[in-house]
Amino acid sequence: MNITVRRRAPELIVPAKPTPRELKPLSDIDDQERFRLQIPVIMVYRSDPNMINMNPASVIRDALAKLLVFYYPFAGRLKEGPAGKLMVDCSGEGVLFIEAEADVTLSQLGDVIYPPFPCIDDLLYDVPGSSGILDSPLLLIQVTRLLCGGFIFTTRLNHTMSDASGLVQFLSGLGEIVRGVTPPSTLPVWQREVLCDIPPGPPMTTFNHKLGYNTNDNMVHKSLFFTTNDISAFRRLVPTHLQRCSTFEVLTACLWRCRTIALQPDPEEEMPIMWPVNARNLLNPPVPVGYYGNVVAFPVAISTARDLCNKPLGYALELVKKAKSDATKSRIASFSDLIAFKGRLHFTSVRGYNISDLTRAGFDTVDLGWGKPVYGGTARARAGVSFYVPYTNSLGESGILIPVCLPSEVMMDRFVKEVNNMLVLGKNELPALSKL
């Protein structure tokens, strides 16, 4: 549907009080090529009778200025130091903020409150000159009011500053200040130096392939929704000893296999898949509470296209489980082990697949004063990158929403057909078989 969005001029929100002027180096985990990108997040809120006379943009704008007193590095700008080392110039220049309104109600959006969102470029406006990694705002926030009193909150984060957990911590703090809680219950901790200049730990799985994001603007976007019954159907397609696998493992194996079939690569081509793992609870000593930088490792599974497509789903599942087991306390026991993951992967080829699991990140629970969002998660998929987002559909069924992006309608149709075939086979308890 067509949506008209009217925006006010972008403004810079600076900390409400003076903050230190200093240079803060990023960690060796933050300072990687794979994080030198912008990540968009969207959260959709219903109207609240208790907030009927409140302008959400004004309320959030004021709270943001107060929060930036605690998270003042976000109001700075990234610079490159010696050898390209990234650091934050805590200049207090501010975070970009846009107030907007749309000529639509939440009910008129109906069942399309998930990616791909209509008019996403209007709901998250790319202010000219704002999307660079260096010398650009580290956060852009847009609040778009709806005719019904609800609103759409979108943000774009320079990924070098935070991972999903760190961003949720920041947004949760914003919500607390909106609700009158100052300071936020979790105070931010910088301490990036603890993840810097650590000698590498024991060697892990070597992986020199180039994974990647195809930046083709004509990519085809679609979201798939899986209920618990659907997940159970996929489990029936694997051997008995694997049926107690996690939801993440079986879904990832299924999507990896179906996407490979859809792409129809050369049978001997290697098809890598990887996913970020939150390593906060895997490290010893632990990351301090309140640390909002990137603390992730990237397990990788690899198979030829021929084996992925010709062998049963259990084959892909076992590869995923093995790679996942490498990112456990037994393999990432220290900061040095975590940094051993650094620098192995670059994103330049559409063959590689990246799964980012947001089901426990917390975007769907961020209360900005209007209760929990109707939808909270990624604003879009990327070529070669899908996200797992918690979602409840119009029938009240809870499950996982997965935005997917493929290079053509033909490939998307093949992908959806293969997924549906596996669901049918699983629900009828028949074996699945696909050929290249």
Calpha distance 106→109 (Å, rounded): 5
- Burial of residue 280 (number of CB atoms within 10 Å: 0-12, 13-18, 19+): middle
Calpha distance 308→302 (Å, rounded): 9
Calpha distance 397→19 (Å, rounded): 46
How would you classify the pairing of strands 270-274 and 375-378?
unpaired
* φ and ψ of 404, to 5 deg: -130, 150
* φ and ψ of 403, to 5 deg: -70, 135
Calpha distance 181→7 (Å, rounded): 29
How many residues would you count in the chain?
A: 436
Active site residues: 159, 367
**Which of 412, 385, 388 shows the shortest CA–CA distance to 402?**
388
How would you classify the pairing of strands 95-102 and 296-297?
unpaired
In this structure, what token pair is assigned to residue 222? Answer: 């679609």
